[in-house]
Amino acid sequence: MEVLNNLLTGFGVALTWQGLLYTLIGVTVGTLVGVLPGLGPSATLALLLPVTFGLDPTFAIAMLAGIYYGAEYGGSTTSILLNLPGEAGSVVTCLDGNLMAKKGRAGAALGIAAFGSFIAGTIGLIAFTFMAHPLAKWSLSFGPPEYSMLMMLGLVAAASLSRDKVKGLVMAILGLLLGTIGTDTVSGSERFTFGIANLMSGLSFIPVIMGLFAVGDIINNFTETSETGASVTGVSYRLRDLLPTREDWSYSIWPIIRGTVVGFLLGTLPGSGAAVAAFLAYSVERAVGRRRQLLGTGIIEGVAAPESANNAVTAGAMIPLFSFGIPGTPTTAILAGALMMYGLQPGPFLFVNHASFIWAVIATMYIGNVMLLVLNLPLIGLWVQLLKVPFYLLAPVVLVITVIGAFSVNNNIFDVWILLIFGFLGYLAKKNKYPVAPLVLGMIISKKLEQSLRRSLLMSLGDLRIFVSSPISLALSILVAVALLATIFSFFKSKKGVRTQGA
């Protein structure tokens, strides 16, 4: 089979010592940031982008992807041991995971989280392997009108997943606007540069992303006294105690499978993240699980389902990125930025023009999942020790990396100022509950969306009906309209919500 052949070739690259090394670094760093609360995968990816500059693109993307799915493994550790979610995807795991730890079953909870993550990650990857290329082929038949509508759908979906959908839309449009800064690719005229030479080639993604995610988060932490001072006692990290019993397995296997399906499907939808998937998987267990009435009292299903789901999401989320070129989550948006940094346009053409690259990256993901399972169980004790690193030591290190990283994008101090400006804006956005992910998404697809829109209108000589002329574009247009109407509807509903609350 063609897919298996391609994958085998990919393994040839992935199994070289560099492939193994960078995958290992990726998944280890990923687990680390998953464990450390307050430093999420998006911020870390943004942080490490500049460090990957000198690398071969295959290994760089393998490492960055490793951080992404590795973080979902690590997040469960602190949820279970400290009732403190390491990252957003593991919030639900606290419910049953921490109660299990209090009952003395921390080992089994940690174990099933790791096994569940491995099973879900691998099944998700297999699905991704077989779906990605056919979907990419299909998306190659899309013309500019279809692409325009697909990108709009992605943006609206990303925006509408935030709690305040209007704020999400505002951020998405601001992102599109930021993406227009620089020389217009079609006409060659300068836009919004205000005579600043450094802006002529556009605003660099990296300082903006690092500013919004990493610097904004750190500055926000300054104002929240987060003295963890975590201490975990009385937990055995010996391998024997981490292996779930036969009984645990019989309770967990279906939640793991259901979590995988929920997570993978949600991952393919733009805008949904690990947190939503984990929460939904938990809700599914509450509805159909064998011991659903016991959920929330510290049973193993409550760990197995969400931890599987948040890992399956990472595999599903690769589909919009690699098959359609439209990243659906903040983390894949940063991956898209990284691809573009290497001159690789995310999307279906990767399978055509850079087949060896894409299959090698996919192969490293299989290896990374195995590495995570083998390495992390014995290392849990070490991760818990690392939690004791105080924030006042972590903060300067992170900030120094961002400043030097921003500089190294163009070897220019101008990008460092951009970093600081967007760091402050990221802090303001966070404090006022404006989601930054739609902004990053908008900025990354801005040029592509504008080009497709203008090309579509060129094809039709300005006739807007081109966006509903083919079945695909018609369907996509309807979806965009429905999503937009839902946004407006939600704004009326929230008004009603306030009205009825006091009654």
Partner 1 sequence: MNVNRLPEGIFVIIIGLVTIWLSLGYSYMERFTPGPGFFPFWLGLLLTVLGFIMLVSSAAQVRTLRRQQVTSDSRPVGNEVTKEEPVIGASTPFTGWSDLSKVFAALIILVLLVLAMDWLGTTISVALFTILLIWFLNPRVSWKIVLGTGVLVAVASYLLFVVTLEVPLPKGIFGF
CB atoms within 10 A of CB 157: 23
Based on the shown chain and the rule CB under 8 A, indicate whether residue 176 belongs to the binding site for partner 1.
yes
What sign has the CA pseudo-torsion 313, 318, 321, 323? negative
| Total count of residues recorded for the chain | 503
Based on the shown chain and the rule CB under 8 A, indicate whether residue 458 belongs to the binding site for partner 1.
yes
Based on the shown chain and the rule CB under 8 A, indicate whether residue 489 belongs to the binding site for partner 1.
no
Based on the shown chain and the rule CB under 8 A, indicate whether residue 486 belongs to the binding site for partner 1.
no
User: DSSP E strands: which ranges in 327-481?
Assistant: none
First-last CA distance in the chain = 64
> Tokens for 482?
């429905």
Q: Which of residues 239-268 bind partner 1 (CB under 8 A)?
A: none
Based on the shown chain and the rule CB under 8 A, indicate whether residue 195 belongs to the binding site for partner 1.
no
Stretch that binds partner 1, among 101-109, 244-252, 311-319, 458-466 (CB under 8 A): 458-466
Going residue by residue from 356 to 395, which x/- string records binding to partner 1, judged by CB under 8 A?
----------------------------------xxxx-x
Question: Residues 6 or more apart from 336 whose CB is under 8 A from it?
Answer: 321, 325, 327, 346, 444
Q: Which of 1, 2, 17, 187 binds partner 1 (CB under 8 A)?
A: 187
Question: Residues 6 or more apart from 241 whose CB is under 8 A from it?
Answer: 107, 108
Q: Which of 126, 192, 290, 382 binds partner 1 (CB under 8 A)?
A: 192
Nearer to partner 1, 177 or 257 (CB): 177
Based on the shown chain and the rule CB under 8 A, indicate whether residue 291 belongs to the binding site for partner 1.
no
CA gyration radius for the chain?
A: 22
| Closest distance to partner 1 from the beta carbon of 99 (Å) | 23
Phi, psi for 191 (deg, rounded to 5): -130, 140
Distance of alpha carbon 107 from alpha carbon 332, whole angstroms: 32
Based on the shown chain and the rule CB under 8 A, indicate whether residue 481 belongs to the binding site for partner 1.
no
Q: In this structure, what DSSP letter does residue 345 have?
A: P
| Closest distance to partner 1 from the beta carbon of 351 (Å) | 29
Stretch that binds partner 1, among 21-29, 62-70, 324-332, 396-404 (CB under 8 A): 396-404
Q: Which of 373, 420, 479, 486 binds partner 1 (CB under 8 A)?
A: 420
Nearer to partner 1, 300 or 453 (CB): 453
Q: Which of 245, 417, 478, 485 binds partner 1 (CB under 8 A)?
A: 417
Stretch that binds partner 1, among 4-12, 123-131, 329-337, 412-420 (CB under 8 A): 412-420
Stretch that binds partner 1, among 243-251, 303-311, 348-356, 407-415 (CB under 8 A): 407-415
Based on the shown chain and the rule CB under 8 A, indicate whether residue 494 belongs to the binding site for partner 1.
yes
Our CA angle for 52, 333, 307, nearest 5°, is 95
Distance of alpha carbon 184 from alpha carbon 194, whole angstroms: 14
Distance of alpha carbon 333 from alpha carbon 338, whole angstroms: 9
Based on the shown chain and the rule CB under 8 A, indicate whether residue 155 belongs to the binding site for partner 1.
no
**Secondary structure string (H, E, C) spanning 191-213:** ECCCCCHHHCCCCCHHHHHHHHH
Based on the shown chain and the rule CB under 8 A, indicate whether residue 228 belongs to the binding site for partner 1.
no
User: Which among 405, 429, 425, 424 is positioned nearest to 415, based on CA atoms?
Assistant: 405
Contact 48, 71 (CB under 8 A): no
Based on the shown chain and the rule CB under 8 A, indicate whether residue 407 belongs to the binding site for partner 1.
yes
Decide: residue 263, CB within 10 A, 0-12 exposed, 13-18 middle, 19+ buried.
buried
Nearer to partner 1, 136 or 453 (CB): 453
Q: Which of residues 38-77 bind partner 1 (CB under 8 A)?
A: 51, 53-54
Based on the shown chain and the rule CB under 8 A, indicate whether residue 400 belongs to the binding site for partner 1.
yes
Nearer to partner 1, 371 or 437 (CB): 437
Q: Name the residue type at position 404.
A: I
User: DSSP E strands: which ranges in 148-269?
Assistant: 182-183, 190-191
Based on the shown chain and the rule CB under 8 A, indicate whether residue 166 belongs to the binding site for partner 1.
yes
What sign has the CA pseudo-torsion 333, 473, 166, 501? negative
Phi, psi for 190 (deg, rounded to 5): -80, 140
Residues of the shown chain interacting with partner 1 in the complex, contacts defined by CB under 8 A: 51, 53-54, 166, 169-170, 173-174, 176-177, 180, 184, 186-187, 189, 191-192, 215, 219, 222-223, 390-393, 395-397, 399-401, 403-404, 407-408, 411, 413, 416-417, 420, 423-424, 427-428, 431-432, 450, 453-454, 457-458, 461-462, 488, 491, 494-495, 498-499, 501-502
